[in-house]
A and B are shown apart, each in its own frame.
Chain A
Amino acid sequence: MARIGVFVCHCGTNIAGVVNIQKVVEAVQLLPGVVYVADERYTCSDVGQTSITQAIKEHQLNRLVVAACSPRMHEATFRQAVARAGLNPYLLEIANIREQCSWVHSKEKEEATEKAIELIKMAVAKVSRDEPLFPRKVGLTKRALVIGGGIAGIQAALDIASAGIETVLVEREPTIGGRMAQLDKTFPTLDCSSCILTPKMVEASHHPNIRLMTYSEVKAVRGFVGNFEVDILKRARKVDESKCTSCGICWQKCPEKVPAEFDRELGKRSAIYLSFPQAVPNKPVIDLPHCRYIKFQEWQKNPQGKKPMECRICEKLCPPQAVDWSQQDEMVTEKFGAIVVATGFQTFDPTGYGEYGYGRYPDVITGLEMERMLSASGPTGGEVRRPSDGEHPKTVVFISCVGSRDEKVGRPYCSKICCMYMAKQSIMLKEHDPEIQSYIFYIDIRAAGKGYEEFSRRAQEEAGTLYLRGRISQIYRQGGKLMVMGEDSLIGRQVEIAADLVVLAAGVEPATGAKELAQTLHISYDQYGFMNEAHPKLKPVETNTDGIYLAGACVSPKDIPDAVANGGAAAAKAMGLLSQESLVTDPMVASVDPMKCISCFMCQEVCPFHAVDKQKLRDGREVAVINESLCKGCGLCVASCRPGAINLRGFTNQQLLEEVTSLWR
């Protein structure tokens, strides 16, 4: 016999301000099976929870309904309270009389009270059919995967590995380091970016618990928290890393030169190349589409056009004979308990802004291109030169918010880092050549961060950078100069500056392929392709998929300190998960009654989680069976099952029917 207790929560005035609690209590007392009703100011508080446990014990309650906020908010809290009283925690139902009642009916108090009573009536009906459920324990793989080898990914990998957990760091580029490796100096301290990054890169490569997989990509992910199975494509470098000594002969002698991606195509690299001198691993890779020998091989298969040179110069000159043409792309499958996604960002392509002429005028460059020029290991050896004629610029104009805070190009958000990197670059330019005068056209100066405002002032006061508030309407070439036409909106006058070089502060957007990776991982992303946190404030590094965490600029634009802190936070979450001996699974999953199953396997077709398997019975029949570890309890199979053989535990057909029919009893 069900002995049901009901707790009606005031939630301060959130519920009690609209719903007449006294009336609700009186009505609920008359419901069948209800033996105890109480109301609490804050049921979720310590006091409220204690009254729940006491009531269960004192009144021998074996079912409980809490009428309060959404189950998303406190279902777990109340289950714990029920469990503390020795009752199975799944013999609890929540009637949501806040989000689905008082908050949305604040002007119709009487109707809201009636609705609250009906909602509780339904919960009471359902709870009478509840059955005890028991979570299962499953084992977990104590290994972590970090996707993306930028500063956030490196930090996450180092922190997880230092806790004694084996970690694989996957990076699709030939080297780790990410965007930070491309930078010259970092704001606001003007630390040399590579000087502070490369030690971490080397540490990651030497760490006994970290395995680097560069030039590799995650292609498929199966399984669930604690037990992921990941297919990783290792692309062939065509260089035997164990033999290569990085002597450099191959990339110096390779005759094929192509624009260097790492230098934002301001310089050239050879077809066999090292992205930059401090690359980790410090081994070259052969860029197959550009390699002459590969082109020759293709010509041999399909002789069309002029016969290319056979080349193979790298192979002939390599002292340890490390060039290995037999290497092929390889798919490896690895098991992990937790995954950290740190795929970072790329800069916005400003070609769409026709008025700035990027792509048409070589002396209009992006901030990242300026970084490469400022960098001592960059294409110009650290000298700032105009791409058009190699001259040293004297007047440099920066334009902020290119691909940020602009609805027109579908980028309404602030990219966060640009104000600071423009200030930094203007300071660096002054240091390179005191005759350089920089102008920064801004909308607002956003310098929130430790030492940021001071740094921004330093650009103005020490480097003499002139900040002009306004947008640029047009840039056109006149003689050797770029005429920058704009507005100084503080004095309401048009300005025209004859610049030698224009730097567009191109904004931040998710790295290419981030959306596809998110789909592979079954995690959500926003309209721009940034991955979604489970909660923007309280769960900033978690996703809605257990066991998958986020770090760095794949979530939103972030500067280096934020990305590092994020990497550490994601690592802490992964470590917390992997420190457990086993995981508890949610028992609210589907189950098949094999006697009713007619083997149509419609359930298998509709299941988005591939949780339905086939099972052969002793009588020879093949029936559906649910893999409880994969099932998320969505209920699609239940709805699709024609003979009604499938039930969702916690939401059985009997429970739902009871709930609905209670409304007209």
Chain B
Amino acid sequence: MANRAFAYYPGCSLHHGVAKEYDVSSRLTCRALGVELREIEGWTCCGATSVHLSSRLLAAALPARNLALVGKMGLPMALACAMCFSRHRYALHEMEDASMREKVAGALGDGVPADVEVRHLLQILDGVDIKASRSLDGLKVACYYGCLLVRPLEVTGFDDEENPQAMDRLLASVGAQPLDWGLKTACCGAGMGLPRQDMVLRLTGRILRQAVAEGADCLAVACPMCHYNLDSYQKAIGGGLNLPVLYFTQLLGLALGFSPHELRLDKHLVDTGPLLRSRGLV
């Protein structure tokens, strides 16, 4: 497959450490699959959870600044973080309204390109011809998409809102056995971990217990926030939960022959070692 180049936006979580492993594994797998990720020079925060609650203009203008940079690179944009993906798609959606577009351009002091293509890694890797060096061999993966990746459809523009399939397809193509389960898009509690930990424990507990009940060996995620909630609260939820939570790029990386160390699998709180050893993936 010919090389395809994208303007890569890591975002704060992937850049500053919380989800460094997502960044590392994304770059590794993409390189191995002939997808070139060129980091956008001078990218800034998308606004994440807080900005769109306080200012509609700022929530569009922050991603628009990045979109302008991407426009100058002349490449489609690639994102890994579900939140950043959602914010950039929202900005495009908001700017379909001409008056909003004008306001954003005014705030930036510069024009905003209209035709930037904003894509999530899952969209980019979906359908790529993958030569796996080892099969995930029936690993039962509960693919978890969370709230922002595929909803609302008119903003994200891909996959089935209620029963998304892109991650399932991708991991099935390297031998995993994705589960048909019901909480793929159920909320994990997002940023409520500090103000309302009880609620996050209830929501993450429900997702994790359901995945275990369906026989999952691990969860695959595409969002640093979801990963944080699902991975780090398992002890607090209790009930002997011990379900590894991996980024889908890490699972893909394993199939492509990268080592757990290269994929930074040691960064998770729930130990992935026993699972990988029992499956012969290390």
Given A357-B182, A483-B182, also A476-B162 (CB < 8 A):
no
A352 vs chain B, min Cβ distance (A): 10
B183 and A354 contacting across the interface, CB-CB below 8 Å: no
Q: A476-B210, A478-B213 are in contact. Are A354 and B182 (CB under 8 A)?
A: no
A residues 423-478 near B (Cβ < 8 Å) are 474-478
A475 touches B182 (CB 8 A): yes
Distance between A475 CB and nearest chain B CB, rounded to angstroms = 7
Give bound CA distance, A374 to B160, whole Å: 34
Total A-B pairs, Cβ < 8 A: 28
The answer on a CB contact under 8 Å between B180 and A476 is no
Q: Do A476 and B182 have beta carbons less than 8 Å apart?
A: yes
In chain A, positions 31-59 with a C-beta closer than 8 Å to chain B are none
CA separation between A476 and B179, bound complex, in Å? 13
Q: Judging by beta carbons under 8 Å apart, are B161 and A354 in contact?
A: yes
Which chain A residues lie closer than 8 Å to B233 at the CB level? none
Chain A residues near B181: list those with CB within 8 A.
Answer: 476-477
Q: Is A479 engaged at the interface, CB distance under 8 Å to the other chain?
A: yes
- Closest B residue by C-beta to A477: B182
B-side interface size class: 10 to 19
- Tell me, rounded to whole Å, the shortest Cβ–Cβ distance linking B178 to chain A: 14
Q: Are A354 and B213 in contact (CB under 8 A)?
A: no
Q: Is B186 within 8 A of A354, CB to CB?
A: no
- Interface size of A by CB at 8 A reads 12
Q: How far is the CA of A50 from the CA of B181 in the complex (A)?
A: 79
Closest residue of chain B to A475 (Cβ to Cβ) is B182
Question: Is A478's CB under 8 angstroms from B182's CB?
Answer: yes
Type the 1/0 row for B165-188, where 1 means its CB is closer than 8 Å to any CB of A: 000000000000000111101100
Interfacial residues of chain B within 190-219, with CB under 8 A of chain A in the complex: 210, 213
A355→B153 CA distance, assembly (Å) = 14
A665 within 8 A of B: no
Is A301 close to B, CB under 8 A?
no
Chain A CB within 8 A of B163 CB: yes
Q: What are the residues of chain A within 8 A of B213 when measuring CB–CB?
A: 478-479
Q: Please tell me if A360 contacts chain B, counting CB pairs below 8 Å.
A: yes
Of the residues A360, A479, A483, contact of B163 by C-beta under 8 Å: A360
| Chain B positions within 8 Å of A355 at CB level | 162
**Looking at the complex, which one of A357, A475, A478 makes contact with B210 (CB distance below 8 Å)?**
A478
Tell me the minimal C-beta distance from B26 to chain A in angstroms: 28
Residue on A with the closest CB to B161? A354
Minimum CB–CB distance from B115 to chain A (whole Å) comes to 28
Q: Closest residue of chain A to B163, judged by CB?
A: A354
Cα A653 to Cα B210 in complex, Å, equals 79
Report Cα–Cα, A474/B187, bound state, in Å. 11
Residues of A within 8 A of B160 (CB): 354
A477 and B180 CA atoms in complex are apart in Å by: 10
Task: A360 to B184: give the CA distance in the assembly, Å.
Answer: 14
Q: Which of B138-177 contact A (CB under 8 A)?
A: 160-163
- With a CB–CB cut-off of 8 A, which chain B residues contact A353? 162
Chain A residues with Cβ below 8 Å from B182 are 357, 474-478, 483
CA distance A475 to B186 in the complex (A): 11
- Distance of A502 from chain B, by nearest CB (Å): 12
In the assembled complex, the CB of A163 is this many whole angstroms from the nearest CB of chain B, namely: 54
User: Cα distance A355–B182 when bound, in Å?
Assistant: 9
Partner of B186, one of A474, A477, A479: A474
A476–B183 CB distance below 8 A: yes
Q: How far, in angstroms, from A357 to B182 measured CA to CA in the complex?
A: 9
Which residues of chain B come closer than 8 Å to A478, judged between CB atoms? 182, 210, 213
Contacts of A354 in B (CB 8 A): 160-163
Question: Taking CB as reference atom, which chain B residue is nearest A355?
Answer: B162
Q: Which of B160, B180, B182, B186 has the most CB of A within 10 A?
A: B182
Q: List the B side residues contacting A479 at CB < 8 Å.
A: 213
- Distance, CA A11 to CA B163, complexed state (A): 61
Q: How far is the CA of A473 from the CA of B213 in the complex (A)?
A: 21
A476 to chain B: closest residue by CB: B182
Give chain B residues whose Cβ lies under 8 Å from the Cβ of A474: 162, 182, 185-186
Task: List chain B residues, Cβ under 8 A from A477.
Answer: 181-182
- What 1/0 mask marks residues of chain B from 245 to 280 whose CB sits below 8 Å from any chain A CB? 000000000000000000000000000000000000
How many angstroms from the CA of A475 to the CA of B160 in the assembled complex?
15
B180 neighbours in A (Cβ, 8 Å): 360
Encode A469-502 as 1/0 by CB contact (under 8 A) with B: 0000011111100010000000000000000000
Determine the chain A residues whose CB is within 8 A of the CB of B183 once the complex forms: 476
Q: What residues of A have a CB within 8 angstroms of the CB of B185 in the complex?
A: 474
Report the Cα distance A474→B184, complex, angstroms: 11
Q: What does the 1/0 interface line of A75-96 toward B look like (CB < 8 Å)? A: 0000000000000000000000
Distance in Å: Cβ of B156 to nearest Cβ of chain A: 14
A379 to chain B, nearest CB (A): 26
Chain A 236-278 near chain B by CB (<8 Å), digits 1 or 0:
0000000000000000000000000000000000000000000
B 64-88 contacts with A by CB, 8 A: none
Taken together as a complex, chains A and B put the C-alpha atoms of A475 and B163 apart, in Å, by 11
Find the A residue at minimum CB distance from B182.
A476
**Chain A minimum-CB-distance residue to B186:** A474
| Closest chain B residue to A353, Cβ basis | B162
CA of A360 to CA of B165, assembled, Å? 14
* Separation of A477 and B185 alpha carbons in the complex (Å): 14
Q: Which of chain A's residues have a CB closer than 8 A to the CB of B161?
A: 354
A173-B210 Cα distance, complex, nearest whole Å: 45
Closest chain A residue to B183, Cβ basis: A476
B180 closest partner in A (C-beta)? A360
The smallest C-beta distance from A363 to any residue of chain B, in angstroms, reads 13
Nearest CB on B from A430, distance (A): 28
- Which A residues touch B186, using CB under 8 A? 474, 476
Among residues 88 to 136 in chain A, which have CB atoms less than 8 Å away from a CB atom of chain B?
none
* Bound CA span A355–B163, Å: 8
Find chain A residues with CB under 8 A from B163 CB: 354, 357, 360
CB distance from A388 to the nearest CB of B (A): 14
* Minimum Cβ distance to chain B for residue A415 (Å): 22
User: How far in angstroms is the closest Cβ of chain A from B1?
Assistant: 32
A505 CA to B181 CA in the complex, in Å? Answer: 24
CA distance A479 to B212 in the complex (A): 11
A485 closest partner in B (C-beta): B186
Q: Which of A353, A357, A478 has the most CB of B within 10 A?
A: A478
Interface residues of A in 158-214 (CB under 8 A from B): none
Give the CA-CA distance A69 to B181 in the complex, in Å. Answer: 65
From residue B202, how far is it (CB to closest CB) to chain A in Å?
Answer: 10
Min CB gap B275→A, angstroms = 23
The answer for the CA separation of A479 and B210 in the assembled complex, in Å, is: 9
In the bound assembly, the distance between CA atoms of A479 and B209 in angstroms comes to 11
How far is the CB of B150 from the nearest CB of chain A, in Å? 10
Within the assembled complex, what's the spacing in Å between the Cα atoms of A479 and B186?
A: 18
**Cα(A360)–Cα(B180), bound, Å:** 9
How far apart sit A360 and B186, CA to CA, in the bound complex (Å)? 17
Bound complex: CA of A355 vs CA of B185, how far in Å? 10
Task: State in angstroms the CA–CA spacing of A105 and B181 once bound together.
Answer: 63
Q: Which A residue sits closest to B209, measured CB to CB? A: A478
In the complex, given contacts A354-B162, A355-B162, what are 18 additional A-B residue pairs having Cβ atoms less than 8 angstroms apart? Answer: A353-B162, A354-B160, A354-B163, A357-B162, A357-B163, A357-B182, A360-B180, A474-B182, A474-B185, A474-B186, A475-B182, A476-B181, A476-B182, A476-B210, A477-B182, A478-B213, A479-B213, A483-B182
Nearest first, the 4 A-B pairs at minimum CB distance are A476-B182, A354-B162, A355-B162, A354-B163
Q: Give chain A's interface residues, CB within 8 Å of chain B.
A: 353-355, 357, 360, 474-479, 483
**Cβ contacts A to B, 18 pairs, < 8 Å:** A353-B162, A354-B161, A354-B162, A354-B163, A357-B162, A474-B182, A474-B185, A474-B186, A476-B181, A476-B182, A476-B183, A476-B186, A476-B210, A477-B181, A477-B182, A478-B182, A479-B213, A483-B182
